[in-house]
Amino acid sequence: MHNRTLGQSGLSVSALGYGCMGIDFGYSSKLSRADGIAMIRAAFERGVTFFDTAEVYGPWTNEDMVGEALEPFRGEVVIATKFGFNIDPDSGAMRGVDSHPEQIRRVCDASLKRLRVDAIDLFYQHRVDPKVPIEDVAGTVRDLIAEGKVRHFGMSEPGAATVRRAHAVQPVAALQNEYSLWTRQVETNGILDACHELGIGLVPYSPLGKGFLAGGIASAEQVAEGDFRGTLPRFQAAAFAHNLKLLDLVKKIAADRGATPAQIALAWLLAKAPFIVPIPGTTRLHRLEENLGAADIALSREDLAEIEALLATVSVEGARYTPAGEAATGL
């Protein structure tokens, strides 16, 4: 596994990271703590040095698991976590967004303990809080960096104008946005342009379309009860059936290159820019190894042009989020 640097931050990470959320949050099936720790360590043993979590995953349990799993490798890995939500401390219920400075500090201190580290390598604002000026958010993280509690500042799903305002106060090392063969808003909403211009890394989450692009789900009916994908417009029956045309196309592209659809989806992102570091997640060892194989696939300019031409022949049906979920992005 080769490394990449997230923009001009100097933060060097493996070219493919590992998204830890799905280990015990969001999907109908969860790994036990022991199996989750084993999966995280398996990723490290195979060259992954970049791990992504958040206080809201669980909530709190995911960070704690990541902390235990990676404690033996402290100094050899980069851990990213996130702040920005108001979580009821007793019930764990979500109570909206909250990026007030005092809340950021509370989350930072709690995350440090759960992750078992002296400093958070990359601290993302999970969602922009419209009630708090982004300058105050960036300034608070700047102060945490000065205090040695945080090393780098990141943002997840902000609007491009907000990124520029934040970056003027505290340089943003990385933006975490959804980006994949079926979710390409960053190419047109100014985020990718901002990354190029300001020297910011881009960390695509859901680079496999929440599993769709890996080809493991044949119909919307296979999405189990309790799986958050069942609430998403793209995973409703009619939209899902329509979107299988895209998956069939990706399968053809992969077969022509002796790869799997997941590997092509990840290799396509890696070929887009040298500062892009996707973070696919999985709970299965064979899928982990399959995903990491994408780092060995180099798509040429001609390959990318051919893929673009083929993608232009199909459309994607359905929004990526519910209206409420989408309303929380791009602020």
- Give the per-residue pLDDT at 218: 87
Number of CB atoms found within 10 A of residue 186's CB:
22
pLDDT at 28 (0 to 100): 80
pLDDT at 216: 87
Lowest mean pLDDT, pick from 26-35, 105-114, 316-325: 26-35
| Token pair belonging to 208 | 């496999």
Average model confidence (pLDDT) for the chain?
Answer: 97
- pLDDT tens string 203-238: 999 999 999 999 988 899 989 888 899 999 999 999
List, for residues 128-152, the tens digit of each pLDDT value. Answer: 999 999 999 999 999 999 999 999 9
Which residues does the annotation mark as catalytic?
57
**Residue 29 has what pLDDT?**
83
User: Which band of pLDDT confidence, cut at 50, 70 and 90, is reported for residue 73?
Assistant: very high
pLDDT tops 90 at residue 116: yes
In the predicted model, is pLDDT for residue 265 greater than 90?
yes
Mean pLDDT of 280-291: 97
CB 120 within 8 A of CB 108: yes
Distances (CA, A) of 140 to 104, 155, 188, 205, 277: 8, 13, 30, 25, 26
pTM summary value: 0.97
Residue 27 clears pLDDT 90, i.e. is over it: no
- CA–CA dist 291, 295 (Å, integer): 8
Q: What does the pLDDT read at residue 309? A: 96
Q: Token pair of 296, please?
A: 């060995």
